[in-house]
Structure 1
């Protein structure tokens, strides 16, 4: 069980992540989700990392974030480069890491006032 201090007051923060769940702004999510400072999208499909499609990255590109963090579950896995083309076309940065690291990184960038989104696959 991991806890993350919420002291930003600037938007949705990830307070806790654990096997099969993540707590965002005092609400527990047990499905893949997307967290932005001003909203939470849950559930987020695809159901599994291997189900990622170009359309999923097109959806992420529509969120108007300057950077997308992709939390790939218990371990870091990289999507096929062709899938991320919608982000590259809009010059949106993509960082890929395991979900625990993605949660921590999102909180840091969000607290700095960055327009960031994190798409999380459950651990």
Structure 2
């Protein structure tokens, strides 16, 4: 689904999403990744929300967000509670949702200038980036 027709300035944005990829600006990404306003961390080695650990969440925390959107694929799947607690203990809000919902929410919050980080879990076996 196409989200943005015009190119916003000042931040990385999600143009479209599908079950197996998300397009950042004009580049489709086929593996799990983390997106901040000015930074894209590719090849995040998470393929299912249940495998998320504090160690795998560390790159998100290093970006010092005020809010984390965790996109868990086509459906909402909660990661282990200790991982969610790690965000909350640091005063960071965290919302778990489908990738489609996370993509839409990221667009709204980033456009408002909010310090939001979105982490998207994409399925294993997706086509590699060309």
Q: Give the TM-score taking structure 1 as reference length.
A: 0.91
Is residue 61–residue 86 contact of structure 1 (8 Å, CA) maintained in 2?
Answer: no
Q: CA deviation at 1:79?
A: 1.5
Is residue 66–residue 92 contact of structure 1 (8 Å, CA) maintained in 2?
Answer: yes
CA deviation vs aligned residue, 1:7-62 (integer Å, no higher than 9, x gap) = 53230000010121110011110000111110101011222222111212233211
Q: Which structure 2 residues correspond to residues 1-123 of structure 1 after superposition, within 5 A?
A: 2-5=1-4, 6-122=6-122
Q: Give the TM-score taking structure 2 as reference length.
A: 0.87
Please state whether the residue corresponding to 1:104 is helix, strand or coil.
helix
Please state whether the residue corresponding to 1:94 is helix, strand or coil.
strand
> Which structure carries more strand by proportion?
1
Partner Cα distance (1:72, 1:113) in 2: 24
Partner Cα distance (2:49, 2:109) in 1: 24
Is residue 47–residue 122 contact of structure 2 (8 Å, CA) maintained in 1?
Answer: no
Partner Cα distance (1:61, 1:38) in 2: 15
